[in-house]
Amino acid sequence: MTYTLRSALIPVEDGYATVDVQIEGDRIAAIGAGLPTVGTAIDAENKLLLPGFVNGHAHSVQFWQRGLIPQLPLELWLADVMDTSPTALEQTYLGALGTAIGTLLSGGTCVMDHLYVIAGHEVESVAAAARAYKEIGIRAFIAPLIQDMPFVAGYPEGLKTLPHQPYQQSTADILALMETIVTELHEPEAGIQIAVGPTGFHRCTDALFEGCRDLSDRHNLCRHIHLLETRSQKMLAQERYGGSAVKHLQEIGFLDHRTSLAHSIWLDDADIAILAETKSTVVHNALSNLRLGSGIAPVLKYLAAGVNVAFGCDGAASNDGQDLLEAIKIGSLLHNVTDPDYKHWITPRKAVEMAAIGGFTGVNLADQVGSLTVGKQADLVLYDLKNLSLLPRTDPIKLLVLGRPNAAVDSVWVRGKRVIADGTIQTVEVDRFSQTVFNYSKGYSKPQYKTIHQVEAHYRRVMGLTECGDSVVD
């Protein structure tokens, strides 16, 4: 399809300009004033045109767990998440659809899905998510979340203190499964890529990292992990490696320009230098980090050191909202309280750059998409500047990022295909989707959590928290 966007507002160096934009096939064909109309004319007057953003870290299956899990730190929250994780492939499909809907309606055209897979149905799980992403038409990276150490390995002193079984699958079996998934489902030309996604050093052996590294090298796959999300994980790195987890990951060759690191909160200056040196990307998930009390990632230090930073929503069990604009807003404002010098604060324009080209740098596509550049793939979003939430007409990017847009996305193109028009998703019937989700979930009753009771006393002891008492249940 061919489109001409007439009179769109775009950011330029010293303000804004009104331009026409031609989309031909999957590319931006021309940007300029007074272009001839080719293909379908789109009235973009009083609309702001920006490149699509990347939702750099998601767990789509957690769609089913939003509004569910109590206020807990990661290590205990995860116990509750595991106890209530959906087990039907249909829910994997619907969860991916829900995640894509949230991302598209908040300015995202690409998602990195660190996907929970159903044990024994790993390939089918990835296929279900891929089917959802293709149907709705979002660009997606699917990194099946894998580990080869038991759950208790994620706690300081966990392996030596807490009862456990060996992990149910061998490292070799997991890597063989990943090879199958790549062979069957990696389709870059269809906008669906498989990435390697060991959950993080806290539950993965070096052998798993090395196997993933080699798989990534053979197929040019992105690499995506959780990194030092909590103070507990930093303690665990000290226990396991006698020092820095970041240095260890560098030594085993896992960090490179295709590697994105979710959270990255508990890093020191030497760690930060390694991220800059290896050209790794940090994915900042501020809302999740607040929800779980994980801490505030040192994002201003990353930017000062030249580390690429992108934004993510994280899964809906730790960010029940799943709005990318909200993740960008809080992910940029939060740091103002960490540095008294406002000259270092993230401006809304910088935040938009981080979300767009920063996001696509993190998935190794910055040369092909992520900016309003002729010849790049057309991942584009039009925001309606007559929407009340973007009024009055002051600085549109400031209000988009610092405000609270309500249904302000008018149109979205992904790889040149129009996925949203007049605020409505064109490829999937959202009302029907909502009804399906409602029907699925209306028999809800409060879960009976079990796993947390096996680990809470240990967690409180190693973290130096006082007497245990009852678990938080609300």
Distances (CA, A) of 427 to 9, 129, 394, 413: 26, 16, 33, 12
With a CB cutoff of 8 Å and minimum separation 6, the contacts of 322 are 63, 66, 98, 99, 102, 103, 313, 316
Which listed range, 139-147, 207-215, 289-297, 299-307, lies at the site for a copy of itself (CB under 8 A)? 289-297
Site for a copy of itself in 141-200 (CB under 8 A): none
- How many angstroms separate the CA atoms of 363 and 377, rounded? 15
Strands 259-263 and 223-227 turn out to be parallel
Among 399, 414, 452, 462, binds a copy of itself (CB under 8 A): 399
- How many angstroms separate the CA atoms of 428 and 93, rounded? 13
Toward a copy of itself, which CB reaches closer, 204 or 297? 297
Kindly state whether residue 80 participates in binding a copy of itself, applying the rule CB under 8 A: no
Kindly state whether residue 469 participates in binding a copy of itself, applying the rule CB under 8 A: yes
Which listed range, 130-138, 182-190, 237-245, 387-395, lies at the site for a copy of itself (CB under 8 A)? 387-395
Q: How many residues bind a copy of itself (CB under 8 A)?
A: 79
Residue with tokens 């409180």: 460
DSSP assignment of 377-409? B--EEEEETTSGGG-SSS-HHHHHHHS--SS-E
Toward a copy of itself, which CB reaches closer, 94 or 126? 94
Toward a copy of itself, which CB reaches closer, 17 or 273? 17
* Single-letter amino acid code for the residue at 460: R
Least distance from C-beta 383 to a copy of itself, angstroms? 12
Toward a copy of itself, which CB reaches closer, 21 or 72? 72
Kindly state whether residue 17 participates in binding a copy of itself, applying the rule CB under 8 A: no
Kindly state whether residue 345 participates in binding a copy of itself, applying the rule CB under 8 A: yes
* Single-letter amino acid code for the residue at 158: G
CA angle, 423 then 428 then 433, to 5°: 100
Site for a copy of itself in 57-76 (CB under 8 A): 63-68, 70-73, 76
Among 189, 269, 394, 448, binds a copy of itself (CB under 8 A): 394
Kindly state whether residue 269 participates in binding a copy of itself, applying the rule CB under 8 A: no
Q: How many CB atoms lie within 10 A of CB 301?
A: 17
Site for a copy of itself in 89-118 (CB under 8 A): 101
* Strand locations in 387-466 (E): 409-414, 417-421, 424-425
Among 12, 88, 374, 472, binds a copy of itself (CB under 8 A): 472
Kindly state whether residue 231 participates in binding a copy of itself, applying the rule CB under 8 A: yes
Kindly state whether residue 426 participates in binding a copy of itself, applying the rule CB under 8 A: no
Q: Are 227 and 261 in contact (CB under 8 A)?
A: yes
Which listed range, 108-116, 301-309, 363-371, 437-445, lies at the site for a copy of itself (CB under 8 A)? 437-445
Among 135, 169, 239, 433, binds a copy of itself (CB under 8 A): 433
Residue 435 burial (10 A CB sphere; 0-12, 13-18, 19+) = exposed
- How many angstroms separate the CA atoms of 271 and 268, rounded? 5
Site for a copy of itself in 314-333 (CB under 8 A): 320-323, 326, 329-330, 333
Among 292, 310, 380, 414, binds a copy of itself (CB under 8 A): 292
Least distance from C-beta 161 to a copy of itself, angstroms? 20
Query: For the range 175-178, what are the long-range contacts, defined as Cβ-Cβ under 8 Å and sequence gap of 24 or more?
Result: 175/208, 175/211, 175/212, 175/215, 177/122, 177/123, 177/144, 178/144, 178/146, 178/211, 178/212, 178/215
Kindly state whether residue 228 participates in binding a copy of itself, applying the rule CB under 8 A: no
CA angle, 402 then 308 then 310, to 5°: 40
277 by DSSP, 3-state: which? helix
Kindly state whether residue 290 participates in binding a copy of itself, applying the rule CB under 8 A: yes
Kindly state whether residue 339 participates in binding a copy of itself, applying the rule CB under 8 A: yes
Kindly state whether residue 448 participates in binding a copy of itself, applying the rule CB under 8 A: no
